[in-house]
A and B are shown apart, each in its own frame.
Chain A
Amino acid sequence: QVQLQESGPGQVKPSETLSLTCNVSGGSISSYYWSWIRQTPGKGLEWIGYIYNSGTTKYNPSLKSRVSMSVDTSKNQFSLKLTSVTAADTAVYYCATTALSLVPGAVGYYFKYWGQGTLVSVSS
């Protein structure tokens, strides 16, 4: 079974960049799509985006201008960067495997394995 573990600073200053890494074990980074999801007290669960091994990405339009994701196959890990953070970005951030859910005319996806989550607070 795939296991995921998030890591990164627990506190980021407003206007700076949030950077998190998800370490993958029990499976190859090349075998799945990978997502970042966050949970905030005010907005519940929010999908941030996904990345595939080839570098293909898809981001939530509401965050797209501030988000970037990357994969490091040599380390079996993938990363999230979120720029110009504000207090509204304070959340528990999860990484998760992403499986495609194909139906006629539509490509959806869901999240099978999750990391334990890491709390990131935005404050000065």
Chain B
Amino acid sequence: QSVLTQPPSVSGAPGQRVTISCTGNNANIGAGYDVHWYQKLPGTAPKLLIYGNNNRPSGVPDRFSGSKSGTSASLAITGLQAEDEADYYCQSCDRSLSSSLFGGGTKLTVL
């Protein structure tokens, strides 16, 4: 059981908008630590998608956006495409655990 909680799966049709939540507590997200998001395709390394809650690295389409409020964060994907089918992970740091943390991951299925 991860300290950062994500839904195991989400799905959407091409062109639709989906969101993936990441819920923490007052020792991590609620303590002010930034949330970062990664996309992982099968057999490949995770790819940084969003850093600092809502910033996209160069090359990441603006269909991907992040937000944070209180003890939670969300990743939104608009204009869903087949190539977006992947596992998505949130990541933050935890003051009590003195460690970086990853969420359990969410599998996105494009219908």
Contact = CB atoms under 8 A, between A and B. Distances in A.
A6 to B, nearest CB: 10
B26 to A, nearest CB: 12
Chain B interface: which size bin? 20 to 34
B34 A117 contact: no
Contact of B36 (A101, A103, A113, A116): A101
Interface stretch (B13-21, B74-82, B85-93): B85-93
B34 A44 contact: no
Contacts, number: 72
A115 B45 contact: yes
Nearest to B52: A101
A74 interface: no
Interface stretch (A9-17, A20-28, A83-91, A104-112): A104-112
Contacts of B2: 44
Given A101-B33, A103-B33, A116-B44, A110 B91 contact: yes
B23 to A, nearest CB: 16
Nearest to A4: B45
Interface in B43-78: 44-48, 51-52, 57
Interface of B: 2, 31-34, 36, 38, 44-48, 51-52, 57, 89, 91-93, 95, 97-105
